[in-house]
Amino acid sequence: MVCLSDPLVQTISDLYHKIAALENLDPSEEVNALFGQLVRACIPPHPIDVSKLCAEIQETRQKLIGLCSAAEGLLESHHAAALAAFDSPLDHLHLFPYYSNYLKLSRLELDLLLPHSPDPRRLAFIGSGPLPLTSIVLATGHLTSSVFDNFDINPAANAAAARLVAPHPDLARRMNFHTADVMDVPPAVLREYDVVFLAALVGMEAEEKMQVVEHLEKSMAPGAVLVVRSAHGARAFLYPVVDPRQLRGFEVLSVHHPTDEVINSVVVARKCAAKLAAAVGKSAAAAALCSKCGEIQPFACNPMSLVEELAAAEEHIC
């Protein structure tokens, strides 16, 4: 068990207590300084495995992730309101302090996505927030004919985001905002998307995360691509971890762990074809083929034997 004897864990624990003692998390010199220290502590590569933390630090980590999410939401809301004061808000996105990080993350996600979905027609972004930078960056600079549907549970966040896009004629036509919990989005809606970005897992228990994945697996169209944000190493103190092996019903295509200032790891997976998805429930080997034979996986996998086992179903790929 890793506990306070680890210097990194001690540093993060000290910062957590300082952050938790703040009167509020609204952007300020003190708030920005503390979260800046936290991010700088977590960015360098570190062999820590957060699943092996002692119970006390596990609890601290979960609370810290919640605080990071709340502070990020307040920071985005603050800057979304400031940007909305401009006649052309999207011309001033560089004023957001982490804009360059979003540019790099969006480029990374796009590079991982396009080999598997080269020309997506419709994309859904779940957990878009008041400043939907990923959707905006992709829609304006890369996927310039695609339609983006942004889902967030907070109506105020959607209203703020819509105000930013409204003055941009092309983006206002191709970008929509929906107030909904992902679990309440009907399968008939989710089936329309070629790509689903999932960034709304903060604060969820492990069982809730699995329910979201199961809902997407049941609802998304066969062959559609799922892009999930995760975290690795010490960065898992800032953002929840999604184990690729938990993406049952999906073929894991790629897993990437950045080593620069981009915090999030990225997992790209494809919804299994209908016949194989049905076989997953009957065959452990089928499940392995569908959710474990990814680009970066910490286990052995023999696809040929799995294909042979599934030959009777005449389905050889996810």
Domains of the chain: 7-89 (no CATH), 95-273 (3.40.50.150), 274-318 (no CATH)
Crossing angle of helices 7-20 and 55-84, rounded to 10°: 50
Residue 14 pLDDT > 80: yes
8 Å CB contact between 261 and 309:
no
Q: What are 158-169's pLDDT values in tens digits?
A: 999 999 999 999
pTM (2 decimals)?
0.84
- The average confidence (pLDDT) of the chain is 86
* Whole-Å CA distances, 120 to 92, 102, 186, 237: 27, 20, 20, 33
pLDDT of residue 210: 84
* Model confidence band, residue 60 (pLDDT cutoffs 50, 70, 90): very high
Question: Averaged over 234-262, what is the pLDDT?
Answer: 92
Measured distance CA(103)–CA(133) in Å, rounded? 8
pLDDT tens digits for 126-156?
Answer: 999 999 999 999 999 999 999 999 999 999 9
d(CA 18, CA 13): 9
Phi-psi region of 127 (alpha: psi -120 to 50; beta: other; left: phi over 0): left
pLDDT exceeds 50 at position 314 = no
- Cβ-contact 193, 186 below 8 angstroms: no
Which H or E run contains 52?
none
Question: In angstroms, rounded to a whole number, what is the distance separating the alpha carbons of residues 203 and 54?
Answer: 19
Q: What is the pLDDT of residue 6?
A: 87
